[in-house]
């Protein structure tokens, strides 16, 4: 996977996405190189989730193009886009409540269409050591934070090249957020490119190389995370600290 470094693995080119009559994304463009961690920032309702859903084919854009590893994906069904190598953790996690932690991971493993298995159970347990003692726990018996980690683990079991994470830090205690920063660093070191949507600027600064700031469904600013962090005007105008 290292050969993908510095080559755009994902290009979103001026997409417009609607919910019914409501025009949500307006000419959103972004580009992510292999190996990068990039974040989508912005307040409530600016279009972060819709951008991720557009990429996954869950809310396909009406116009514009999206290329994953050079292949156009707009109008492909979501399952096919996932099989091409995009993993997705939705903001509501969607863990199967009646299945155990192990079974939730096992289903994802079976859905992996990759010939080369990068993420084994062992590797996922290594990333989340607490899982080892929770294998038989049902989804309903997991805390919100644990479900979030399981949702990440489940996405990894499908061996994605690009991982989309929607609000990974939301609702987590500060210690767990710090843990998640390390987890994201380790996933990236395995060669997985990451696009995350999160409102937490500090979390994005710790995890991401670059950021795109959305407001009213449009990209208002983009830059290196350090530049965004120090840009008081931008932070005040578009973000929450």
Cβ closest to ligand ATP, residue 7 vs residue 19: 19
Give, in degrees to the nearest 5, the angle at Cα 33 between 29 and 36. 110
46 binds ligand ATP per the rule CB under 6 A: yes
| 234 touching ligand ATP, by CB under 6 A | no
Q: Which does 160 bind (CB under 5 to 8 A by kind): Mg ion, ligand ATP, none?
A: none
The answer to whether 22 contacts ligand ATP (rule: CB under 6 A) is: yes
**Counts of helices then strands in the chain (DSSP H, E):** 9, 10
At 238, list the tokens: 């578009």
45 binds ligand ATP (CB under 6 A): yes
| Sign, CA torsion 34/49/149/117 | negative
Q: Are 68 and 43 in contact (CB under 8 A)?
A: no
CB of residue 192 vs Mg ion: minimum separation in angstroms? 21
Give 43 or 114: the residue with its C-beta nearer to Mg ion: 43
> Shortest CA distance to 126 belongs to which of 114, 138, 118?
118
Residue 48 or 210: which CB sits closer to Mg ion? 48
Please identify, using beta-carbon distances, which residue of 134 and 218 lies nearer to Mg ion: 218
Distances (CA, A) of 174 to 87, 151, 165, 179: 25, 19, 18, 9
Tell me if 79 contacts ligand ATP by CB under 6 A. no
Which of 5, 7, 19, 140 touches ligand ATP (CB under 6 A)? 19
Give, in order, the Cα–Cα distances in Å from 67 to each of 9, 31, 101, 118: 8, 9, 33, 23
Query: Considering the rule CB under 6 A, would residue 48 count as an interface residue with ligand ATP?
Result: yes
Residue 112 engages ligand ATP in binding (rule: CB under 6 A): no
- Which DSSP state fits 70? T
The contact set with Mg ion (CB under 5 A) reads 48-49
Residue 195 touches ligand ATP, criterion: CB under 6 A: no
List of residues contacting ligand ATP (CB under 6 A): 19, 22, 24, 42, 44-50, 91, 199
């Amino acid at each position: 996977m290292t050969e993908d470094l510095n080559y755009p693995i994902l290009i979103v080119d001026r997409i417009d996405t609607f919910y019914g009559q409501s025009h949500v994304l307006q000419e959103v463009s972004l580009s992510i190189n292999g190996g990068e961690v990039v974040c989508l920032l912005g307040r409530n309702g600016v279009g972060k989730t819709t951008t991720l859903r557009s990429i996954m084919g869950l809310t396909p854009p009406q116009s514009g193009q999206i290329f994953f590893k050079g292949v156009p994906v707009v109008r492909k069904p979501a399952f096919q886009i996932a099989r091409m190598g995009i993993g997705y953790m939705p903001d509501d996690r969607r863990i199967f409540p009646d299945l155990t932690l192990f079974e939730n991971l096992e289903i994802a493993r079976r859905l992996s269409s990759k010939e080369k298995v990068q993420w084994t159970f062992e590797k996922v347990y290594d990333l989340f050591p607490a899982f080892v003692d929770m294998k038989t726990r049902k989804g309903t018996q997991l805390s919100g934070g644990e479900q979030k980690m399981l949702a990440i683990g489940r996405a990894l079991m499908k061996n994605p090249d690009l991982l989309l994470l929607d609000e990974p830090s939301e609702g987590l205690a500060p210690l767990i957020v710090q843990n998640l920063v390390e987890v994201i660093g380790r996933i990236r070191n395995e060669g997985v490119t990451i696009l995350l949507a999160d409102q937490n600027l500090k979390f994005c600064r710790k995890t991401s190389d670059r950021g795109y700031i959305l407001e009213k469904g449009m990209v208002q600013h983009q830059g290196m995370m350090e530049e965004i962090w120090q840009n008081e005007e931008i932070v005040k105008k578009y973000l929450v600290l």
